[in-house]
């Protein structure tokens, strides 16, 4: 059966994350219910990865198999969008090679995390409030250290079902824009909770409580308990997922 990639965005505030779980609504569940209603058959929707509860996505990719009858991809997207709640939106449905996989075919993923040092009622739902002025230079020095390593067990949620905790981080950097602090990280893959754990640990350095030697010790220990607390999920965004050009039809 032909395979299609969906490009979508969502506000994660009201969801337990991307993946279907027994303890609440997920984005995947909402999509599958919408497709089942419109196509009158069960449709499995597979995402590029998991996002935790409260985490947002400016660009998530998912795939599903569909024979393409009755509707064009454009018509189907329009109908699905009309059924989905206002905090989930599809922007494209495109055909891909039958062997393309939203998760395993991806070659990179980019996340952004936002923090602020001011109380602002218009951004508080999407930023982490800091009560100190972080040292950007110190944090960015440790971002360079991150790129020297591959095993990120110390920043992974415990007891996950992945075969390896190895990742290749291509880019990691903080930028200050007034009172807003923006962290961007790009890698071939991410472990569960990895970005939030890295952010929480880097903020320890930004507060003067962690130096390079201590940071290297955390990574090399391969032990989640030695790293910093995870930063809250509401300020994290999945920004982009990249695939090889030859998967698109």
Q: Which of 155, 143, 140 is closest to 220 using CA atoms? A: 155
The whole-angstrom separation of Cα 207 and Cα 165 is: 28
Q: CB of 162 within 8 A of CB of 194?
A: no
SS3 content of the chain, % helix, strand, coil (to 5): 30, 30, 45
The dihedral through the CA atoms of 82, 87, 92, 93 has a sign that is negative
Is 75 a catalytic site residue? no
The whole-angstrom separation of Cα 72 and Cα 60 is: 21
- In Å, how far are 102, 105, 112 from 51, measured between CA atoms? 14, 18, 13
The whole-angstrom separation of Cα 188 and Cα 108 is: 4
From 42, 52, 69, 120, the catalytic residue: 52
Per-residue HEC secondary structure of 149-206 comes to CCECHHHCCCCCCCCCCECCEEEEEEEEECCEEEEEEEECCCCCCHHHHHHHHHHHHH
**Which residues are known to be catalytic?**
52
């Amino acid at each position: 059966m032909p395979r299609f990639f969906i490009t979508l965005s969502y506000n994660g505030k009201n969801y337990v994350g991307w993946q279907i779980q027994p303890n609440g609504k997920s984005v995947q569940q909402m999509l599958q219910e919408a497709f089942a209603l419109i196509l009158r058959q069960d449709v499995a929707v597979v995402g590029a990865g998991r996002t935790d509860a409260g985490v947002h996505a400016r660009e998530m990719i998912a795939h599903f198999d569909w024979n393409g009858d009755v509707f064009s991809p454009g018509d189907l997207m329009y109908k699905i969008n009309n059924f989905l709640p206002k905090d989930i939106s599809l922007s494209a449905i495109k055909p891909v090679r039958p062997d393309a996989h939203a998760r395993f075919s991806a070659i990179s993923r980019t996340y952004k995390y936002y923090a602020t040092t001011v109380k602002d009622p218009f951004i508080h739902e999407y930023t982490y409030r800091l009560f100190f002025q972080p040292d950007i230079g110190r944090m960015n020095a440790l971002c360079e250290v991150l790129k020297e390593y591959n095993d990120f067990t110390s920043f992974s949620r415990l007891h996950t079902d992945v075969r390896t905790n190895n990742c290749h981080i291509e880019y990691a950097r903080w930028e200050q824009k007034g009172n807003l602090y923006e962290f961007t990280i790009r890698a071939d893959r991410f472990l569960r909770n990895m970005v939030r754990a890295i952010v929480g640990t880097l903020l320890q350095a930004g507060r003067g409580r962690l130096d390079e030697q201590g940071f290297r010790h955390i990574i090399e220990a391969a032990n989640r308990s030695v790293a910093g607390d995870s930063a809250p999920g509401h300020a994290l965004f999945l920004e982009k997922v990249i695939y090889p050009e030859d998967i698109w039809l």
